[in-house]
Amino acid sequence: MSGDYDFEPVRGLPALLPAGETLLWQGHPEWRSLAVRAFHVRKVGVYFCLLAVWSVLSAWAEGSSLSAALSSVLWVAPMALTAVALLIMLAWLAARTTVYSITSKRVVMRIGVALPITINIPFCAVESVGLKRRADGTGDIPVALSKGYRLAFLVLWPHVRPWHVRSPQPMLRSVPDVEHVAHLLAETLSATAAQFPQPTPNEAHEPNRRPAPTAPVSVAA
């Protein structure tokens, strides 16, 4: 599968970094955590277990023998195994084809299994970052975008914060050693913000004062 990305001059990046920009970190989702958190493998397994129990109880309530009732769930097992196996495979492929990158100036997400795309999020477009730790050491880092910046929820999925459909937030998902990565990103954002002094109250209300130029969030196929 690595041959599919031989066009990349740097792994996970669509082009060489410009002068003055450095690569600070790269990583990808842990596929087991991604299977559970994004593809809901456990929930699907529980659903089929409940379906099997319901099938047995229904057959028994209708007067079938216990052996006949148990045999009525044989059709559930192949469906359950197929569904779980498919979701695990999708999670593995998603993790294998994803590269998250943090540079000194932006977050880059190379995502997509069948149709890979690269999403560039400059720090000037980032309003805040969050952190959600998991017991296994992995976790999620949602990136809230400033007003005026927007990405499509379906384009980002599953690398997007759940339930934030109207204001999608790109998310580094199921990242190993998530506390270290979140701390690095927060420190880099703070250092970048410190390079641009905040306007004084009088300057902030000057009608002719132009804001500092910003780079748009970009999506490249």
Q: What is the mean pLDDT of each run of 10 residues along the chain (221 residues)?
A: 64 90 96 96 93 81 71 81 96 96 96 92 94 93 92 94 93 96 95 65 40 48 54
Using a cut of 0.85, tell me whether the model's pTM lies above it.
no
Give the contacts of 113 (CB within 8 A, at least 6 positions apart). Answer: 90, 93, 94, 97
Distant-in-sequence, close-in-space partners of 192: CB < 8 Å, separation ≥ 6:
104, 105, 123
Lookup: tokens for 149: 């910046």
Look at residue 212 in the predicted model and tell me its pLDDT: 40
- 190-196: list long-range contacts, CB under 8 Å, 24+ apart: 192/104, 192/105, 192/123, 193/123
Strand-strand pairing, 99-103 and 23-27: antiparallel
pLDDT of res. 11: 87
What pLDDT, on a 0 to 100 scale, did the predictor assign at position 208?
Answer: 41
Average pLDDT in the chain:
85
pLDDT at 201: 44
Cβ atoms 91, 80 nearer than 8 A: no
Question: What integer pLDDT is reported at residue 216 of this predicted model?
Answer: 53
Which one, of 126, 106, 100, lies nearest residue 34 by Cα? 100
Model pLDDT, residue 157: 95
The CA-atom distances, in angstroms, between 103 and each of 1, 100, 127 are 25, 10, 17
Round to whole Å and give the CA distance between 126 and 38: 23
| Per-residue confidence (pLDDT) for residue 4, from 0 to 100 | 58
Multiple choice CATH, 21-30+97-197+214-220, 2.60.40, 3.40.1130, 2.30.29, 3.30.70: 2.30.29
Q: What is the pLDDT of residue 132?
A: 95
